[in-house]
Chains A and B, each alone.
Chain A
Amino acid sequence: MTVLKLACATIVLTVVSTVLMLIPNWNGPAASTAAGPIDDLLTVTIVMSCFVFSLVMVALIYFVWRWRAKPGDLSDGEPIHGNTKLEIAWTLIPTIMVLFLGGYSWVVLDEIEGKEPDRMVVDVYSQQFQWSFDYREQDATSYELHVPVGRQVEFRMHALDVIHSFWVPEWRVKKDNVPGVTTHLFVTPNKTGSFQLICTELCGAGHGVMRAPVVVESQAAFEKWVRQQDSVPDRPADGKDV
C-alpha cells in the first residue's frame, strides 16, 4: 500500500516538476537548425532528470519523516542488510536510462554536425581580444560577422595567440580556436537578426569583453554588404586540420 502511495507521490512530483521546469525557455531564443534538436534533447533530459530527482526526494523525505526517532528512543532499526533484487534493479534501470540518453545524444550530434555540399566558408581569426572574419571566396574581411540566412556556414577557426572559443548562444554551438591547428564548426542560421559572438575560453584580461556583432541577413543583403568590405589581408599559414 505504502509503495503504491509513494509511487503516486513520485509520479505527481515528477509531473509537477516537469511542467514547472518546461515552462521557461531555458536556452533562450533559437536561430539555427542545431537549436531545435538540442532544445528537444534538453527537454527529454529534463523529463528524465525530474523523474530521478523526484524519486530520490520522495524516498528521502518520506523515509526521514516516517522513521524519525522519537525523543528518547534508543532502539535500533530493522537489521536489513540488503536486497539483491532491488540492488540489481537500481543498477540496471539507471544503466538503461543513461545508455538511452547517450544514444539519443549521439543521434543529435550527428544531426547537428551534418555537412552540406554548398556551404559557405568563413575563416575566423581570434586574438587577444578581437575577432576578425575572412571571406576568401568573396575576398572580403571584417570585424563583424555577416552570414546569409538558410545556408550552412563552415567556420574555419584560427587562434593567433592563446585559445579562444567561438559561441553564439542563439546558434547553440561552440568550438575552441586553438593555436597551431584549424578547428571547424558548422552552422546553418535559420533566422535573421543581430546576435553576439562571445569568447568563452579564458584568454586574458579582455576575455569578458571579447565579443563581436553577428548579423544574419538575406542572401541579397549579405552580398551587398560583402562587396563593401576590404580585401583579405595576409595571414599566417593555416594550422593542421582537426
Chain B
Amino acid sequence: MESASVTLGHATGDHHHGPPEANKSSKVDQTTLGLLIFLVTEAMLFGAFFASYFFLRVVVNDGPWPPEPYELPVIVAGVNTAILVSSSFSIHWALEGIRRGNRKAATLAMAVTWLLGATFLFIQLNEYIHVGFSARDGAFGSIFYGLTGLHGAHVIVGLILLTIVNVRLWRGHFGPKAEDHRGLELPGIYWHFVDVMWVIVFVTVYIL
C-alpha cells in the first residue's frame, strides 16, 4: 500500500522536489515483507494464548478435558473448518484469475471467499450460542473463548479486508502485473494465515 503511493508520486511528478528513489537492497517487496513479519507477531500473540491453554489444561488441570459436563461440537466445528479451508483455495483461485487477467474469475472467486468466511463466522457465533458454557465457566471456558475468540477477531479483520478487495474488484482495480494486484495478494496472505491458524486452533482445542 505504501509503495504503491510512492511509485505513483514518482511517476507523475518529474518536476516536484522529492526524496531520491531508495536503493533496493533486496528483491522482496517491502509491503510483503512487512506483512510477513507482522504475521510472525500475530503468530506469537496466538502463542501467548496457546501457552496459557497448555498451562491450564496440562499443568493445573487434573480431571477430564473438557471438564464435565461440557462437550464440544466437534462435528460442526469440523465442517466449519472445511468451509474455512476451502476459502483458502478460492482466494488462491482469485489471485490466479487476476494474474491471468481473468477479472470475472477473480471477482467471482473473491465473492465466494467472502461468503465462505462469513459463513464460518456465522456458524462460529451460532456455536457460541449453543455450546452451553460461557467464558466465565471455569478456566476451560475462558481459554476456549480466548483462543477461538482471538481467532474470530482475526476472521473479522480478514473479512473487512476481503470486503475492500471485493469493492475494488467491482470498481475495476487490479491487473495482471505483480505491482498491480498487491492489494489483492496481501489480504490473501493474511487470509491464508487466518486459515492455517484456525487449523491449529481446531486441532488443539477440539481434537487433542
List chain A positions with a Cβ less than 8 A from chain B: 180-181, 240
Contact = CB atoms under 8 A, between A and B. Distances in A.
Interface residues of B, number: 2
Contacts of B60: 180-181, 240
A181 B60 CA distance: 9
Nearest to B61: A240
B172 to A, nearest CB: 58
A240 B58 CA distance: 13
A115 B58 CA distance: 27
Contacts of B68: none
Interface of B: 60, 62
A10 B171 CA distance: 76
4 contacts: A180-B60, A181-B60, A240-B60, A240-B62
Contacts of A181: 60
B59 to A, nearest CB: 9
Nearest to A239: B60
Contacts of A240: 60, 62
What 4 pairs between A and B have smallest CB-CB spacing? A240-B60, A180-B60, A240-B62, A181-B60
Nearest to B60: A240
Contacts of A180: 60
Nearest to A180: B60
A48 B94 CA distance: 65
A114 B62 CA distance: 28
B138 to A, nearest CB: 13
A221 B62 CA distance: 42
A6 B115 CA distance: 76
A140 B62 CA distance: 31
A176 to B, nearest CB: 15
A16 to B, nearest CB: 49
A171 B60 CA distance: 30
B180 to A, nearest CB: 48
A179 to B, nearest CB: 11
A181 B62 CA distance: 12
A180 B60 CA distance: 9
B54 to A, nearest CB: 16
A240 B55 CA distance: 13
A69 to B, nearest CB: 36
A181 to B, nearest CB: 8
B6 to A, nearest CB: 38
A143 B62 CA distance: 33
A240 B62 CA distance: 9
A180 B139 CA distance: 13
A87 B62 CA distance: 52
